[in-house]
Amino acid sequence: MTLDSWCSAPRSRCNAPLQRQVIVSQKRIIVVGGGASGLIAAGQAAEGGARVLLLEKKSSPGRKLLLTGKNRCNLTNTDDVREFLRHFNPKGKFLTQLFYHFFNAELRAFFEELGVPTVEQRGGRVFPESERAQDVVDALVRWASAKDVEIRTRSPVTGLIFEGNSIKGVRTAHKEHYADAVVITTGGAAYPGTGSTGDGYKLAKSAGHTIVPIRPALVPLLTKGDTAPRLQGLSLRNVQVNLWINGEKEDDIFGEMLFTHFGLSGPIILTMSGQIVDELRSGNRVEISIDLKPALDHPTLDARLLRDIEKMHRKEFKTLLEGLLPRKLIPVCIEETNIPARKHNHQITAEERKRLRLWLKDFRLEVSGHRTLNHAIITAGGVETSEVDPHTMESKLVKGLFFAGEVLDVHGDTGGYNLQAAFSTGWAAGRGARGQGSRGGGARGQGSGGERERGAEERGRNE
């Protein structure tokens, strides 16, 4: 917005007679929500010279960030772009171009410059070297504040202000705030105690956007019967979980899982949970089959059982199981295979050995439901991505309205994928709001971003 005026001061105060002076007004941008995407969007917008107001409903920003990665903050993952995108729902392709401009290498360099060095751990997960989520929040707040972002807490936004098909500002409980652009980064509806109560969906809907029905993702599962409660606290590593829908195998995943008082949790269960939630909502029968010996095929496992039986032929069956299973699982195995615990191993029949082998490769639990959004790590569903420009995050329906983070219908697996999506969309939305989208490139971050972006674009051409 440019206002032209003529110098009306005395000639002695002008550089030349009637010299034309150009006064450029500062662009005003409001960011709604102070999570990962909101803080980086606000800083990016301010870096372009905009006047930025960040409105956060809670008493401090970054509340949900403090919970991520068990309070250690799993920032991203070292997977390459193609592998990274495989860890998202089908809408994940929306992130492709963003990742070629601001991805894991750029994010790690960004935090390094903020004084938060990072370290790669098991599974390519990236954490701050200190393993303290608070360090990440503090660094983002310091950075945004240094860019003159005004962070106003306890300021929930209740509505948007429109003029025709353009955004003009937001309403809070007691005031209207006007702006040239508004970025909605309110998060989803998971962990409502952190401020993520679905406000962004209501705001987006008021702007005419389609909201894909929200449901929990990365959420623990409920199981039928008392098997899981009996195994509460037992963690299984290096197992394969097979997903069965209506009697047909649909998926499998290898890793670690946990039994709880209500059912199942742990990394591989959480990863599968999004698909399971949708199947349950469709009324389908869902079963989890646990392969306790995934490294052994059936013939190899049978040979192992024969060797163990021969070696311990005078001992009881329960003693044989001590070399095969965690102690907590032994009573369950005895019950489900219907082999007497005190039966001597040399008395085990071929049919009983077969039942044991099949159970070790196919320990099943029927899924009866899932925990609520209060217990989910993220929210599935949200603003329909086809209504958002994937380069700038600007609404295709309302000029000057932008979205970033979990409010969008994009969700990924556990392992740093969702936070990277939040940072990348926030980075793009902040730049888009200030009028510099990712299409054209340019410097960013702390000054060295231009070189990183050229490298990202080169990666994009080479993919």
pTM assigned to the model: 0.85
**What's the pLDDT score for residue 78?**
98
Domains detected in the chain: 28-217+375-441+449-462 (3.50.50.60), 220-371 (no CATH)
* Alpha-carbon span 141 to 40, nearest angstrom: 9
> Which pair of structure tokens corresponds to residue 422?
């939040």
Amino acid 6: pLDDT: 25
Position 437 scores a pLDDT of: 64
The string of DSSP codes covering 306-334 is HHHHHHTTTSBHHHHHHTTS-GGGHHHHH
* Residue 192 confidence (pLDDT): 85
Which of 60, 99, 4, 10 lies closest to 417, judged by CA?
A: 99
CA-wise closest residue to 183 among 446, 394, 460: 394
In the numeric block, which tokens belong to residue 119? Answer: 């370290």
8 A C-beta contact, residue 267 and residue 413: no
pLDDT at residue 357, rounded to an integer: 98
Report the relative pairing of strands 248-259 and 221-223 from DSSP bridges.
unpaired
- The pLDDT of residue 70 is 85
Task: Decide: helix, strand or coil at residue 202.
Answer: helix
CA atoms within 13 A on the CB side of 209: 34
Position 143 scores a pLDDT of: 98
What's the pLDDT score for residue 193?
Answer: 81
Query: CA dihedral defined by 95, 98, 99, 103, rounded to 10 degrees?
Result: -130
DSSP string across 136-194: HHHHHHHHHHHTT-EEE-S--EEEEEEETTEEEEEEESS-EEE-SEEEE----SSSGGG
In tens digits, what is the pLDDT along the chain, a chain of 463 residues? 332 322 333 333 334 444 444 445 689 999 999 999 999 999 999 998 999 999 999 999 999 999 888 899 999 999 999 999 999 988 899 999 999 999 999 999 999 999 999 999 999 999 999 999 999 999 999 999 999 999 999 999 999 999 999 999 999 998 999 999 999 999 999 878 888 889 999 999 999 999 999 999 999 999 999 999 999 999 999 999 999 999 999 999 999 999 999 999 999 999 999 999 999 999 999 999 999 999 999 999 999 999 999 999 999 999 999 999 999 999 999 999 999 999 999 999 999 999 999 999 999 999 999 999 999 999 999 999 999 999 999 999 999 999 999 999 999 999 999 999 999 999 999 999 999 765 543 333 333 333 333 344 343 433 3
Neighbours of 280 (CB within 10 A): 20
Name the residue among 296, 249, 297 with its Cα closest to residue 272: 249
